[in-house]
Structure 1
């Protein structure tokens, strides 16, 4: 039997008057203006700033970050006196690009500088006492943390007691008690309206580097290098693409194809990004460059990435880029293997995640460097918060895990709710990490389910597809695509637009690659055909031949021929009367029982009969139906209940299959 993804669609309301005003003011097409409105832009003035972020007058970072002037002074003093500076970074893309950025900047300024990054396997996240003591033992005078440190009270206190100067640059949430550092730079200390509020760790490092170089009159020759690293780290870290992030990234993405950094050129080469590309898109970093950097931090030594991004030797750069490529391939294989094992566990055990309203899956011998990626994939598949873990190799009595959430569920609050059962844990609304004794696993599952029942309804347990506007195929054109692209960069906080079209005919569909679907589509009452791809949708092949489709627009440039294609992100069955007006009957099985169904055009009604002769009568668009052996004894039932929703969906698919045959 044909199946389709179980999703819920959230279609943005049309705001015709505001859309018209913005369209007239900016010369954007109405569809594109609707996208702008959906991003929270509610005046023509804000629309102009959104379209042209460079036109905004920014406050000086020195006015916004209260400790920036102190930080610059401390660094200038250390450089002038030849005092040794040590950077403590992190093993994710943000931490590694931040470390490389400040290494390049401080060496450019003549500093005596070195770095250390904690081991993902041995140390876990952030600066620790061991690193502090190693710095002190090697005559370091100033410690500069990047992308960490704001929660490291004890190690920072230890450094201060040892007589070291400490500057913290971080962007993570503030603890109740700030560490006793000499200076702290963190955008979470700024007002929520500050354009610098959304900076990632690499953005804070960028501001510190620029301010220090300006103070010393040595900014020339440095700006482009560090802007490229800012761009790479910000997008790879999934930072919100708003405020100064959006403004600086627009510039950085234009610059990256002509990068003067040997490491970035080598990385683009192994990732298959063409030299002819005039401007990179966030997807080029998010899906090509970023994963190759992140894979190293997950599976190998971060020093590989630091050398890649700081070397001026093209040979070393290519060698390190090839290492990133090999490690990323291993990461892909591990993710695929763990994902398949996790799905098998969920569906064969079975794990009752719908009843629990949260999915907890734990197995030995999984690599905890990649299970966070697998957690994200399981969220996409099941539409439920996912907590995935594996037993510690050196101590199987302990479990270490990662978590990923959905919109209505706060991961960090969920972990807080279980804090007495956990060892170390941390995170934010959408993601987190945790450790616990294996003996606490059952209690942890029960407590998470208890928390989930407080904030999730059964209808939340489907992946959410947010849609900007309904579009007809005849409206899809190269000018529309180009206007949408002019609003790049898309990403967190500025989502790529999603459109939908009703009752589309799937003329052709086939599996390509290992698990993708390639489609040729035609809208009703139109001769226009469009090509489409549905990534990782092999499990849904073949799809019904008529569907409502939700999609993103993509450009296909093949031998100079440019065409707009679709990337399918969601499907749903069309309104019953649109599809089944000529269908008589179909039979199907659901949950081990046999049913017959029929569409009655004259009554505008779908009828589903079970083996006992009871009939469910459904009219399109209504939330209630009638259930009984005849009209006289039929009772009204709530069709929003999951059982009835799925029964109706299966009946529609059966009728659709009957129409095909």
Structure 2
């Protein structure tokens, strides 16, 4: 039995997560697996059901996206044909074309893709990417004027432009044609470009609806090359750039993205592009995939290639990436890849330093995030290009939306920042709510950027908290972990891992499967690298059921308790030529007791109440005790003992008729109160409205689990149990339901968190409110 002190200390340090396990449909999963293939695992069929694939046709189309018929992009993008004709005319007449890209991975891969395509097709083409620090996002009037001075006749925006009304008006007034290719939300006022290609402007059920900026560029380039009958040599290299940009931009891996990326991920390990080869080499990606002829995993782009590209846009010169992805010279490619590697290492150091400083500030400020429900942290000297990454890490750590900024001047007159949200919080709506306090701002539901005067900082924080308290419940502040299904360790092997390949590519809107295993024994654990946790786990007390696990950035949770429920993804680990499968932990909790059967619940009805006492606010107790006569009932958690008095005192429950009740705290429910009133029949009741020591949701679930395990089959008396822990019977029912007991014969309850909130309000009832209750 572990030391309870250690258990409390360790429990406080476990990840602060909500586990949301998908409803399980074992029979449907079995039928679906058999219909797909005799060898298809029902475990993976359950994952397909979780993704909405409940029919054989839907599942087959998901697993084999190449089998689906796609409409021509020319049918779904009304302006595509005109855009192609504009480019063909510019190529034929040698008019200068200029691409205006963006400094993130999507924008830079889009720029490189169109540069490669247009140069191959004979265009006179150049490019420009605005400076993150000097210009901010998107095409601007300075760039338009430079293009005009350089003799540009056609501007082609990639991954930006849909909101650039004034710059595009300027370009059109200067006589330039403008093709906007973008995928961001369409504003109320659309710029007067010559043509606009944006998947947000096409039919909602189009398979092209979710393409990133690089996807729009790919569609334009391929359709242009096809019309010029020069597409074949371009398809493979452009598809590789499409794959890099789509995954790095966190585009949804559904629809046409899924089909294209299945091809692209197979190509990447043996890329023919010098820059991609060099990037793979310096990052250490796909050391085994290329040798074994397998596809690259999206994670290898998301965690290795993508960050090295993005780092350059954040703190370096985007020209490095453009040259990397457009050169055919291996020497130049390796030199640019090494620059990306060095810049990314510097970016990592900056992120770690800023994260440490931000955490130190939060911890020393004693901010009540449960009350504020949002975190705003601003400090001088932080690099604006990387604070968005730190914001994401702080969201993971604290479970609240994070707005992080840095002063742009020594006088602290101007703040520039980034924001990251949680699923229940809309970042862009929050920024709109603060419109009058901000300078520039933009973004979407999950992330955004903003600037404001330093004088408005306090008001900005208060306004954000007001918005957050309106839309977030306390339960939202625990990040939700979506879990597909349970899995036994003895099912995990290389063959099962290969079967999961059928579900790839995984990413946004098609997450990698998350499994869970209960009551795993922690055999070994140690901290490795920069605060990671390396574990050996075991089930059933058998070394044959042992498996290795890694938990990234979990050093603060060391040591984990001896037994845990673990939620995890599977990953391949190659060491000294040996390949094994290990767990990548995403969450851990204390073992939950699996409910064996519906517990026997005893919940006697309260007797009728005929008394109508006078409800009074309690005066100082020493004064009251000195005045009392007859029999008195004194009740409450932490209730004081009676002072000098002539009264006979009953504690805990009235032994008979009592003229006076003194409630230091109220009973935990109206039902308890009725029992006391029926028994004691008081004439007056003094209320002190003290809050008792309420258990946390985790503690109450744990108490119930221990009770049901310790006394299986014994009746659970709701009134006695709830009185012992100062909670209402409805609170106990909510906890039982969260443990998996349906309690079908009892009234509906809200979530346990909501029931505890309601209990807090009950304990704060005033005598005036209580006097209005009809008994």
Cα distance change, pair 530–155 in 1 and its aligned pair in 2 (3 A): same
Cα distance change, pair 394–145 in 1 and its aligned pair in 2 (3 A): farther
Contact 1:345 / 1:351 at 8 angstroms: preserved in 2? no
Cα distance change, pair 615–524 in 1 and its aligned pair in 2 (3 A): farther
Cα distance change, pair 427–395 in 1 and its aligned pair in 2 (3 A): farther
Take 2:63 and 2:420, find their aligned partners in 1: how far apart are those partners?
A: 32
Structural mapping, 1:409-420, within 5 Å: 409-420=425-436
Cα distance change, pair 112–566 in 1 and its aligned pair in 2 (3 A): same
2:282 to 266, 270, 274: 270
1:572 correspondence with 2:589: yes
Aligned to 1:542: 559
Aligned to 1:11: 21
Which stretch shifts more, 230-239 or 394-403?
Answer: 394-403
Cα offset for 1:481? Answer: 1.3
Take 1:355 and 1:294, find their aligned partners in 2: how far apart are those partners?
A: 35
Cα offset for 1:617? Answer: 8.5
* Number of residue-to-residue matches in the alignment: 613
Cα offset for 1:576? Answer: 6.1
Deviations 1:271-318 (A, max 9, x none): 012252632110111000000000000001100100111111111111
Take 1:383 and 1:471, find their aligned partners in 2: how far apart are those partners?
A: 27
Aligned to 1:561: 578
2:466 to 440, 446, 450: 450
1:181 correspondence with 2:293: no
Which stretch shifts more, 457-466 or 271-280?
Answer: 271-280
Q: SS where residue 202 of structure 1 aligns?
A: helix
Contact 1:21 / 1:44 at 8 angstroms: preserved in 2? no
TM superposition score normalised by structure 2: 0.76
Deviations 1:361-404 (A, max 9, x none): 11111111000000110111111111111111376311111111
Aligned to 2:169: 157
1:23 correspondence with 2:33: yes
Cα offset for 1:563? Answer: 2.1
Take 1:521 and 1:132, find their aligned partners in 2: how far apart are those partners?
A: 60
2:533 to 517, 527, 536: 517
Deviations 1:21-52 (A, max 9, x none): 32111122110001111112122111001000
Aligned to 1:391: 407
Deviations 1:613-632 (A, max 9, x none): x963899985469xxxxxxx
Which stretch shifts more, 555-564 or 83-92?
Answer: 555-564
Which stretch shifts more, 150-159 or 354-363?
Answer: 354-363
1:529 correspondence with 2:538: no
Aligned to 1:502: 518
Cα offset for 1:479? Answer: 2.4
Which stretch shifts more, 434-443 or 84-93?
Answer: 434-443
Take 1:525 and 1:266, find their aligned partners in 2: how far apart are those partners?
A: 47
Contact 1:624 / 1:638 at 8 angstroms: preserved in 2? no
Which stretch shifts more, 470-479 or 223-232?
Answer: 470-479
Contact 1:365 / 1:393 at 8 angstroms: preserved in 2? no
Aligned to 2:475: 459
Take 1:440 and 1:116, find their aligned partners in 2: how far apart are those partners?
A: 34
Take 1:530 and 1:536, find their aligned partners in 2: how far apart are those partners?
A: 20
Contact 1:381 / 1:463 at 8 angstroms: preserved in 2? no
Contact 2:694 / 2:726 at 8 angstroms: preserved in 1? no
Cα offset for 1:562? Answer: 2.7
2:423 to 407, 411, 417: 407
Aligned to 2:386: 370
Contact 2:165 / 2:191 at 8 angstroms: preserved in 1? yes
1:228 to 230, 235, 240: 240
Deviations 1:180-205 (A, max 9, x none): 01100000011221100010000000
Take 1:644 and 1:412, find their aligned partners in 2: how far apart are those partners?
A: 31
Aligned to 1:640: 752
Take 2:754 and 2:291, find their aligned partners in 1: how far apart are those partners?
A: 51
Contact 2:327 / 2:333 at 8 angstroms: preserved in 1? yes
Take 2:155 and 2:226, find their aligned partners in 1: how far apart are those partners?
A: 21
Take 1:490 and 1:639, find their aligned partners in 2: how far apart are those partners?
A: 32
Structural mapping, 1:230-629, within 5 Å: 230-273=242-285, 274=287, 276=291, 278=293, 279-393=295-409, 396-524=412-540, 526-527=542-543, 528-575=545-592, 602-603=710-711, 616=725, 622-623=733-734
Aligned to 1:581: none
Q: SS where residue 168 of structure 2 aligns?
A: helix
Deviations 1:564-583 (A, max 9, x none): 210110011113699xxxxx
- Tell me which protein shows more strand as a share of its residues: 1
1:32 to 24, 38, 44: 44
Take 1:30 and 1:268, find their aligned partners in 2: how far apart are those partners?
A: 35
Q: SS where residue 155 of structure 2 aligns?
A: strand
Cα distance change, pair 53–242 in 1 and its aligned pair in 2 (3 A): same
Gaps of 5+ in 2: 1-8, 596-692, 715-722, 737-748, 758-775
Considering Cα pairs closer than 8 Å and 6+ residues apart, tell me whether 1 or 2 has the greater RCO. Answer: 1
Cα distance change, pair 643–189 in 1 and its aligned pair in 2 (3 A): closer
Gaps of 5+ in 1: 579-588, 606-613, 626-636, 646-661
Take 1:146 and 1:485, find their aligned partners in 2: how far apart are those partners?
A: 32
Take 1:624 and 1:73, find their aligned partners in 2: how far apart are those partners?
A: 65
Cα offset for 1:602? Answer: 4.5
Q: CA RMSD in A?
A: 2.5
Take 1:168 and 1:59, find their aligned partners in 2: how far apart are those partners?
A: 22
Aligned to 2:681: none
Aligned to 2:60: 48
Which stretch shifts more, 276-285 or 61-70?
Answer: 276-285
1:197 correspondence with 2:309: no
1:117 correspondence with 2:229: no
